[in-house]
Amino acid sequence: MPAYITKRLLMSIFTLWLVATLTFALMFMVPGGPFLAEKAPSEATLKALNQKYGLDQPKIVQYKNYMIKFLQGDMGVSLKQRGRTVSSIIFTGFKVSARVGGLGILLALLIGIPLGSIAALNRGKWIDNVIVVFSTAGIAVPSFVVSTVLMLIFSVKLDLLPTYGLTSWEHYIMPVIALSLYPASYISRLMRTSMLEVLGQDYMRTARAKGLSQFKMLFKHALRNAILPVVTYLGPLLAYTLTGSFVVEKIFTIPGLGSEFISSIVNRDYTMIMGTTIFLAALIIIMNLLVDIAYKIIDPRIQFK
């Protein structure tokens, strides 16, 4: 077990370094720079700016400087949003994104797990069919479609919910639903298959033969085993929520990390690109690592290799 964790940890660090290096290399392949706005600054100003942020040095030196500073915990200052450090921008953006995304993930789990279980318990009945149809349709609808259609119905036609910003609880409703529809459908499908498998196992028959109540049988025996695939899905789920947040934040004009990431690329804000990419990549990689480790702890049948 410790050997496994060490190995995975080392691999994660390597992946993270790879992503950072790749991002650094790709970033400078794009023509243009952070200081070339519509009103181009004079030659001298440009030179001074480049010098100030160390952009005049050879790329390899910049890379070395960035990495050393990064390891010391300093991600630098934003080149575009003057006077703000990258870490403070990421922190503010992440707080917003995490709230919306976290609620989305929570909602997906709260909808998906019960729906999948109900479908499996009523296999072949109408309720199972309804759930299967809805979850199959749910995984086919991209989050931008859900967001825009929700907006069309609830804001434009019915005028019930606000379309942009994030100032009251009503603002959360549409983004959270838009983010959770796909994962909720996916989880309910996962849950249904694994629940069906568990219900067919011998120990479930034993439990029934022992005379356990339906409730105890479901919650003590079936659910605990059937939920395992959902645990493995948590890693990809986070990555998906992130992707969804790029879109959802754009549609509902939410000042989150997703929109910071996109705008940093558009603006060639080099330090911001590096900062957000490394932060988001680390988030996903760490989450995947934790899920893998948790999975092996929860399910002792899986061997360490």
Partner 1 sequence: MKHVNNKLSLQLDVSDFLPAGQEEKQSLVIMRESVSFWRDGVRRFKKNKIAMASLTVVIIILIFAFILPAFYPYSYEQQIRGSENLAPMQYSQQELELKASGVKVFPHILGTDSLGRDTMIRLMFGSRISLLVGLVASVLVLIIGSVYGSIAGYFGGKVDMVMMRIVDIIYTVPDILIIILLMVTLKYPLEDLANNVPGFGWINTIGVGLICIFIVFSLLYWVGMARIVRSQILSLKEQEFVTAAKALGASHGRIIRKHLLINSMGALIVTTTLQIPSAIFTESFLSFIGIGVAAPMPSLGSMASDAIGGIQSYPYRLLAPAIMISLIILSFNLLGDGLRDAFDPKLKD
Binding site for partner 1 (CB under 8 A): 11-12, 14-15, 18-19, 22-23, 26-27, 29-31, 136-137, 139-145, 148-149, 151-152, 156-157, 193, 229, 239, 242-243, 246-247, 250-251, 261-262, 265, 273, 277, 280-281, 284-285, 288
State the minimum distance, in angstroms, from the CB of residue 77 to partner 1.
Answer: 21
Q: How is 197-234 classified by DSSP, letter by letter?
A: HHHTSHHHHHHHHTT--HHHIIIIIIHHHHTHHHHHHH
Contact 244, 254 (CB under 8 A): no
Residue nearer to partner 1 on the CB measure, 197 or 216: 197
Contact 81, 260 (CB under 8 A): no
**Phi, psi at 77, each rounded to 5°:** -110, 155
State the minimum distance, in angstroms, from the CB of residue 44 to partner 1.
Answer: 27
State the minimum distance, in angstroms, from the CB of residue 15 to partner 1.
Answer: 5
State the minimum distance, in angstroms, from the CB of residue 208 to partner 1.
Answer: 26
State the minimum distance, in angstroms, from the CB of residue 209 to partner 1.
Answer: 29
The three-state secondary structure class of 106 is helix
Residue nearer to partner 1 on the CB measure, 11 or 40: 11
**Phi, psi at 72, each rounded to 5°:** -85, 0
Amino acid at 126: W
Residue nearer to partner 1 on the CB measure, 131 or 281: 281
Angle in degrees, 0-180, between the axes of helices 228-251 and 270-298, rounded to the nearest 10: 160
Residue nearer to partner 1 on the CB measure, 119 or 281: 281
Please choose, from the candidates 96, 231, 264, 115, the residue with its C-alpha nearest in 3D space to the C-alpha of residue 175: 96
Angle in degrees, 0-180, between the axes of helices 228-251 and 257-267, rounded to the nearest 10: 60
Residue nearer to partner 1 on the CB measure, 53 or 144: 144
The two three-digit tokens of residue 144, written as one number: 């931008």
Residue nearer to partner 1 on the CB measure, 142 or 162: 142
State the minimum distance, in angstroms, from the CB of residue 284 to partner 1.
Answer: 4
